[in-house]
Amino acid sequence: MIGRSLILDTTVRFVFDAAVVLSVYLLFSGHNQPGGGFVGGLVAASAIALRYIASESDDVRFILGIRPATVLSMGLTLAAATSIAPLLFGLGPLDHQSVEWSVQVLGAVHLSTATVFDTGVYLIVIGLLLRIVEALGDDPDDVTDPVTGGPDEGRS
């Protein structure tokens, strides 16, 4: 590390929040519009990666609060569970249900179980990308066990 760059540091502080909000917007708009879990996850992960580059800490954990592997695990579990869940109701794998729901302030809300699956993908992408950043950016001694094995599947 060359040391902190003031410009980068300040810019990242502004960009970070906006990028996270954008990523959540992309995640939820993905059902009917361009976006989705993968794109949203990429945006969020890039934001966190930027923070990681700008900050002096050598550990992504300080930014996120939890280990990337845990994020990966939550995402994969969520996505797999959503694809298995319809089987319990006698439907096919990955069948999705949606409801229109009218909320006082927000107006009509379109809720779909596909969003849950997308959230899983979102978390997988964040976890995976952070794991890569951690493996390639950390101390050389830490890269012995790259958990990058393919949780990415399906036409997301």
Partner 1 sequence: MTLLLVVVAGLLCSCGTYLLLGRQLSRVVIGVGLIGHGANLLLLLSGGDGGNPAFAGGDADRFADPLPQAFVLTSIVITFGVIAFLLTLAYRSWLLTSNDEVENDVGDRLAERNSSRTGSERTAGDRNTDDRTADGRVRESVAGSASDDPAGDPASGGRG
Partner 2 sequence: MNTLIALPVMLPLLGAGVAVGLVHRRVAQRLISVMILSVVTLSSVVMLIRVDHDGPFSVQVGDWASPIGISLVVDRFAAIMLVVASVMLLAVVVFAIGHPGAESGHGSFHPVYLILAAGIAMAFLTGDLFNLFVAFEVTLMASYVLITLGGRLDQVRNGMTYIVINLIASTVFLISLAFIYAATGTVNLADLHVKIADLPDGVRSGLAVLLMVVFGVKAALFPLFFWLPDSYPTASLPITAVFAGLLTKVGVYAIIRSQTLLFPIDTRPGGLLLLIAGLTMVVGVLGAISRNDMKRILSFHIVSQIGYMMMGLGLFTIAGLAGAVFYIVHHIVVKTSLFLVAGLVEQRAGSSELARISGVARLEPLLAVLFLVPALSLAGIPPFSGFVAKLALVEAGLSSQEYLIVVASLVVSLLTIYSMNKIWSNAFWGRIVTESNGSLAPARSGWVLMTGATATLVAISIAIAVWAGPLYAFSQRTAGDLIETHTYVERVLGP
Footprint of partner 1 on this chain (CB under 8 A)?
Answer: 38, 128, 132, 135-136, 138-146, 148-150, 152, 154-156
Residue 73 structure tokens: 């695990």
Contacts 24+ apart (CB under 8 A), 19-28: 19/43, 19/44, 19/46, 19/47, 19/50, 20/44, 20/47, 23/47, 23/122, 27/115, 27/118, 27/119, 27/122, 28/115
Which of partner 1, partner 2, none sits in contact with 53, Cβ below 5 to 8 A by type?
none
Integer Cα distance of 116 and 78 in angstroms: 7
Q: Which lies closer to partner 2 via its Cβ, residue 107 or residue 140? A: 140
- Least separation in angstroms between residue 68's CB and partner 1 is 13
- 87 counts as binding partner 2 under rule CB under 8 A: yes
- Least separation in angstroms between residue 95's CB and partner 2 is 5
91 alpha-carbon distance from chain centroid: 28
Residue 11 structure tokens: 């810019």
- Least separation in angstroms between residue 97's CB and partner 1 is 19
CB 51 within 8 A of CB 139: no
- Least separation in angstroms between residue 151's CB and partner 1 is 8
Which of partner 2, partner 1, none sits in contact with 132, Cβ below 5 to 8 A by type?
partner 1
Q: Would you tell me which residues interact with partner 2 (CB under 8 A)? A: 69-70, 72-81, 83-84, 87, 90-96, 143-151, 153-155
